[in-house]
Amino acid sequence: MNQWKYLLNFNSNQQAGCVTWKVGEKPVFSQAFSPQKKFWVVGDMWLTNRSELYPGWEGRDEDLVALLWEKWGVACLQQLEGIFGLVVWEEESQSLWLVRDRTGGKTLYYTNTGSTFAISPCLQSLAPYHSQELDLVALRDYLCCSFIPGERTLWKNVRELRPGSFLCLPKGKITSYWQPEEEITNGEKPLEWHGEKLRSLLNQIIQEYLPENESVGVYLSGGLDSSCITALAAKFHAHPVHTYSIHFGAECPHELEFSSLVASHCQTEHHILEITPQQMWEQLPITLANLDDPIGDPLTVPNYLLAQFAREKVKVILNGEGGDPCFGGPKNQPMLLSQLYNQEELLLAYLTSYQKCATDLSRLLKPDVWKAVENEVSVFAADLYADANYLNRLMLLNIKFKGADQILTKVNNLTKAAGLAGRSPLFDQRIVKLAMETPPQYKLAGAEEKAILKQAVADILPREIIKRPKSGMMVPVQLWFRKYWQRQARDLLLSKKAAIAPYLNQDLIRDWLHYRGDLWGRYGVKLWLLVSLEIWLRVRNNC
């Protein structure tokens, strides 16, 4: 008798423990059976092409996947479009399949001890089944990027299934069924032709992403990406479109002029939320409690607060995330210059471009920790030194890692925490594929970024939005650490009992807290990174 044991948790309540299920036993959780009961499926999924997969289908997506799996087996994954993390049990072969969507809209984590596997879309629910030992390479990578890229998590021996992959248990074999890759086509066609192709696809996807018979929300910064999603949603939706913008008070720069211009142009119901330094600090613990791995991006708390705000009016919220990774945002420009002048140090240049702690690691990490990770290969190396066009290599890195491991997991977790469905049209697998087919010169050429996207939506946006340079949403953490948070941060980070104390050099952190040597005004971002890590560890250790 096979003694493999699986502990599954697909409960929407992140605090809920796993459901124990042993091979040979009847599952005690809700699952979808295939017509002949050969397979059952459990998961978190939203398919965009269900009507194509089965015309007239009105049932659950899980039931549809069970039907397709019985007919086609694992090959049915090639037909699925949407976001999903799912588990399939195959009775005949006594195999369990873990599957994740192509771009990483949903997550799946797993760990095992002997013959017992624990599996969940929520990392926190696996806490009883792994040690509290940190993965030091994951810690290093977090300090470099503000998120943990790749299959590692901050917990040693706990892994995240990569997008576009499936894992078959108990064999333990991971197989990729889809990965974004460079496939440049129609290079002889002009920008206008490529812009029309993108616009046609955007029209289709936005209509699929809109909810039926109810209002929809859109996060609107006033930049090109969120503005084009707003304009298309307003164009196609027969119900009210609510747009949401944030600012950080009168003493801080903002983009409300541009977001209000777009809202007026598209005739949306516009809402503006002011976020104070007190709210940022007080809401950080609950925000991090709703994230799987820590994310040190200062926008996490604004994202959480804005989701709570939006939930008063809508159940589905769209965003413009994905425009930079897919269509060549301006953050790639420093890397393009670096490649021209210093081709041997591309990895260091790439890590430095995040403007976090990559150049501080040898001083920030304690000597024994630094020695343990110094020569560990970076998860970025294979893609960075691949044969694709250099700009496309940078974009693939951002899609595969920053997209899946920071942007999409942040969107999914923080909107779910508010009871919202968060959707990212520009990260749709079809958009990603088209972006990889587009000639690089139509994405980022010199100082002109996202030329193809601008071409695609020029007719539905004000000229001021098309022509303005990207500025990005800057949270004033540098100012707020100096003015409001220094004492709290000092008590948190310099305590002998701090969770980070065994790993990080607190003397260097003390210098940062007093802004010693801060020539470029970046210590605020680094301090937020460390505060987020410390609070995340405390929240997790108290679970």
Least confident residue range of 16-30, 130-144, 403-417, 491-505: 16-30
pLDDT score of 21: 66
For residue 513, the SS3 value is helix
Highest mean pLDDT among 15-24, 149-158, 448-457: 149-158
For residue 376, the SS3 value is coil
Q: Which residues pair with 216 in a beta bridge?
A: 241
Rounded mean pLDDT, 34-48: 92
Strand 241-247 to 269-274 pairing: parallel
Q: Where do we find the tokens 């008070």?
A: 249
- In this prediction, residue 16 has a pLDDT band, given cuts at 50, 70 and 90, of very low
Burial code (b: 16+ CB inside 10 Å, e: under 16) for 170-205 equals beeeeeeebebebeeeeeeeebeebbebbbebbeeb
- What are the tens digits of pLDDT across the range 131-170? 999 999 999 999 999 999 999 999 999 999 999 999 999 8
In 221-328, the DSSP E strands lie at 241-247, 269-274, 316-318
- In this prediction, residue 19 has a pLDDT band, given cuts at 50, 70 and 90, of low
Amino acid at position 404, single letter: A
Q: Where do we find the tokens 């694992």?
A: 74
- What are the tens digits of pLDDT across the range 237-276? 999 999 999 999 988 888 899 999 999 999 999 999 999 9
Query: Residue ranges for the binding site for ATP?
Result: 246
pLDDT score of 4: 72
Dig out the tokens for 83 from the structure.
Answer: 């976001």
pLDDT score of 8: 83
Query: Residue ranges for the binding site for L-glutamine?
Result: 61
Residue 12 belongs to what H/E stretch? none
What's the rounded Cα separation, in Å, for the pair 45 and 432? 19
What's the rounded Cα separation, in Å, for the pair 406 and 145? 9
3-state secondary structure labels for all residues of 92-144 = CCCEEEEEECCCCCCCCEEEEECCEEEEECCHHHHHHHCCCCECHHHHHHHHH
Q: Which of 124, 138, 254, 224 is nearest to 461 (CA)?
A: 224
Asked if 287 and 304 touch (Cβ cutoff 8 Å), the reply is yes
Residue 240 belongs to what H/E stretch? none
> Looking at the predicted structure, is the pLDDT value of residue 443 above 60?
yes
pLDDT score of 5: 74
What is the sign, positive or negative, of the torsion defined by CA atoms of 282, 287, 292, 295? Answer: negative
Q: Is the peptide bond before 170 cis (omega within 30 degrees of 0)?
A: yes
Burial code (b: 16+ CB inside 10 Å, e: under 16) for 429-450 equals bbbbbbbbebbbbbbbeeeebb
Least confident residue range of 51-65, 445-459, 485-499: 445-459
Helical residues (DSSP H) of 133-255, grouped into ranges: 136-145, 191-209, 224-236
Residues contacting residue 514 through CB under 8 Å, at least 6 positions apart:
none
Residue 33 belongs to what H/E stretch? strand 32-33
> How does DSSP classify residue 504?
B
- What DSSP string describes 400-443? IIIIIIIIHHHHHHHHHHTT-EEE-GGGSHHHHHHHHHS-GGGT
> Looking at the predicted structure, is the pLDDT value of residue 6 above 90?
no
> Looking at the predicted structure, is the pLDDT value of residue 342 above 60?
no
pTM equals: 0.94
Q: Please give the domain boundaries of the chain with CATH numbers for all domains.
A: 5-176 (3.60.20.10), 191-328+376-467 (3.40.50.620), 476-543 (no CATH)
Asked if 175 and 168 touch (Cβ cutoff 8 Å), the reply is yes
Q: What angle do CA 84, 178, 381 make, to 5 degrees?
A: 110
What's the rounded Cα separation, in Å, for the pair 428 and 371? 40
- What DSSP string describes 47-80? ES-HHHHSTT--S-HHHHHHHHHHHHGGGGGGG-
> Looking at the predicted structure, is the pLDDT value of residue 339 above 70?
no
pLDDT score of 377: 96
Query: Residue ranges for the binding site?
Result: 61, 246
Q: Which value, in Å, is the radius of gyration of the alpha carbons in the chain?
A: 23
